[in-house]
Amino acid sequence: MKYPDNPLNVEITDIQGGYKVDVKIPEETGSLVIIDVIEGLLTGMCNVFGISKIKKTRELQDGVFLSASWNLFELE
């Protein structure tokens, strides 16, 4: 079975005290649901790895793509 190219673009970077996750996907029907699913997955991963706080920093549309960012802060 051949799968289409994955349009999901995820970038994870280190920030002071944690990590930043940026997600960019094509703006289509259901894209907001995908963003919510990703936030749920990030929250679950935070619980497993002892990260105390997840903060959505932005959610915006720029016409063709929907972008969202989260800051994941480690336990202090």
When pLDDT is cut at 50, 70 and 90, the band that residue 1 belongs to is: very low
Distance between CA 23 and CA 66 in Å, rounded? 8
- The SS3 assignment for 19 reads strand
Q: Give 13-69 pLDDT, tens digit per residue.
A: 988 888 888 888 888 777 788 888 888 888 888 888 877 777 887 766 666 778 888
What does the block give as tokens for 45? 């991963």
Q: In the chain, what is the greatest distance between 2 CA atoms, to the nearest angstrom?
A: 46
CB distance 43 to 55 below 8 Å: no
Q: Global pTM?
A: 0.71
Question: Within 13 Å of residue 73, how many CA atoms lie on the same side as its CB?
Answer: 10
Q: For the beta carbon of residue 68, count every other beta carbon within 10 angstroms.
A: 21
